[in-house]
Each structure stands twice: as C-alpha cells, then as structure tokens.
Amino acid sequence: MLLLTSSNCFVTKDFLRHLPKKPQDLRLTFIPTAAEVETGSLSWLDDDRQALIDAGFPVTDFTFVGKNSTEVSNMLDETDFIFVASGNTFFLLQEMKKSGFADLIQKYVDQGLIYGGSSAGSVVAGPNIDLIKSLDDAQLAPELSDTVGLGLTDVIVLPHWGSAHFKTAYENNISTAYAKGRKIILLTDDQYLLVQDNTYRIESI
C-alpha cells in the first residue's frame, strides 16, 4: 500500500481508515532526510511528524544520510509503515540511492510494508522526479547521477497543486510536464493518492 500526500498533516486522520491495523499497532519510521538541506523554519516538517504522533503511531526517526544498505535493511525489518517526509526531492533521492534504500524498498512493499510520503516523499515513489526541477534545487544533490525514482508506482505525483506559493514554479514547468505517455496526478494539500492492489484513487477530505 502507498499513501502519497502533498502535506501529510492535513490528511492523516482520513487515511487511517485504509490501514490494516490501528495506528498504535503499526511501527512507523519517519524519514526527515529531504529536509536536512532545507533552511529557515521547518515547521511543516514538525507538523507532519506531530500529525502522525497525534494519530497514535509509535514514531521513530531515521535518516538515510551516512547509512549503508545493512543499516537500512535492519530498519526496514523493524518497520510496518515507512513515512518519507517533505523537503528537497533531489537530495532525498540521492541519499536513497547512496544508502541502498532505492534498491531495497520494492521488496519490502511487496511483502506488505506501507509506504507513505509527503511532497518530496511522494514524488520519489514514482518513475522519475525530473518534473519537480522547477520546485526544488537540483544543485543540492551533486552526487545524483540520474532522476529515476523508486518506481513503486507508474504515476508521477505533483504536490501542492493550487497553492499560491508554487504557482509560478508550476507555470514555468507545465510545458515540460505536457508529454504523451506521462501519468501525472496533481494533488492539492487536502488530497492524497491511495495505491493498493494495482489500483489507485485520489481521496479528498
């Protein structure tokens, strides 16, 4: 199961109904890696984490930075629900690949691990992150050799649709996004994409 959001804090209470167990019975690992290169207030990161805590999840933080595939695999073995928070999508993907997470995650999802994402965490779940270049600074990920995503879904999520803060960036990017063969879903902050049993649907609160 994938739960892909723009801003998790707005939709957490709603997506609980899709989970196989109560929040307190699911070990949740929160990944703040994408925010580690962000500057200024990180209140949005705190809001996303707190929403999960308030919902009843036992939350443990884990970063991909400086980790190897053994450490990542051990973390995944002890996790029922991995939630990848927002920030810089390019840096996040770089660290996912360096740590070995990108090579491991599909197996765990196939075995029943729940993957959740907020903004950058949702974008990387798709086939490619190239369309996010007008929103995030790719120069913050100098070791990223390509923009191929995790491929957990064939849909590209573009988050924060309708937000005034991202309007100009999206207007500059729409010509690139408009291409035959791309599957794109635009998510507002009060929507999320549920991917389950090879089907997907947009849920709104």
- The rounded Cα 201 to chain-centroid distance in angstroms is 17
Report the share of the chain in percent with pLDDT over 70.
Answer: 90
Q: Give burial (CB, 10 Å; 0-12/13-18/19+) of 87.
A: buried
Let me know if 18 is a catalytic residue: no
Considering only 15-24, 87-96, 166-175, which range has the smallest mean pLDDT? 166-175
Q: How confident is the model at residue 121 (pLDDT cuts 50, 70, 90)?
A: very high
Q: Is residue 158 scored above 80 in pLDDT?
A: yes
Query: Domain with 124 in it: what CATH number?
Result: 3.40.50.880
Mean pLDDT (whole number) for 161-170 = 67
Of the residues 6, 160, 165, 204, which is catalytic? 160
- Into how many domains does the chain fold? 1
Let me know if 160 is a catalytic residue: yes
Q: Is residue 178 scored above 70 in pLDDT?
A: no
Q: Hey, CA dihedral for 182, 33, 18, 204, is it positive or negative?
A: negative
The 10s digit of each residue's pLDDT in 46-61 is 999 999 999 999 999 9
| Cβ 162 vs Cβ 134: under 8 Å | no
Q: How far is CA 112 from CA 22, 66, 71, 128, in A?
A: 15, 26, 20, 23
What is the residue range of 74's domain? 2-204
Of the residues 119, 122, 134, 204, which is catalytic? 119
